[in-house]
Amino acid sequence: MLKMFKEHILKFGLVLVLPIFILLLPVTLPLIGIQLKRDQKRKRTLAERFVCVECGEVIGLEAIRLADERWSKIVEKILSENNTEIRLRLVRTVDAICPHCGCQYCYREEEQTFVVQEVSPEWKRLEQRQDAEERI
């Protein structure tokens, strides 16, 4: 009896939640897009006036472009090596790279600023391997 009751509640919940989710999609998807655009604009505005802590130069929009290019190469390489059906969770850690000195920055939303991204020894090792493979 209890098992049947649980099954009915589960079915009822699914029948109720699924249509609500589908009805809310036209509202939530544009809101997500607006949020992403707003975050990108904040990063760009900050980059235009942010002074690099290493070299003292303004990093500018070039810093974001460099980080985007680097991230695209990393994703492309990972996807080309991953020939299985496994979905990977990739986390971007560098949002800007100073075009003058190469200092890497991560964007902190809470403070709305860039902070120097410490590069772990493991990442340096992987990056060197990637650079060596690109030269071949």
User: From first to last of its 136 residues, what are the pLDDT tens digits of the chain?
Assistant: 556 666 766 676 667 777 888 888 899 999 999 999 999 999 999 999 999 998 999 999 999 999 999 999 988 888 888 777 777 788 888 899 999 998 999 999 889 899 998 766 655 555 555 555 554 4
Rounded to a whole number of angstroms, the CA Rg of the chain reads: 22
State how far the Cα of 105 lies from the Cα of 53, in Å rounded to an integer.
10
Both tokens of 73, joined, read 């190469």
SS3 88: coil
Domain of 28, in residue numbers: 2-83+90-135
Q: Domain total for the chain?
A: 1
Distance of CA 114 to the CA centre of its chain: 15
Residue 51 bridge partners (DSSP): 58
Stretch (H or E) spanning 107: strand 104-108
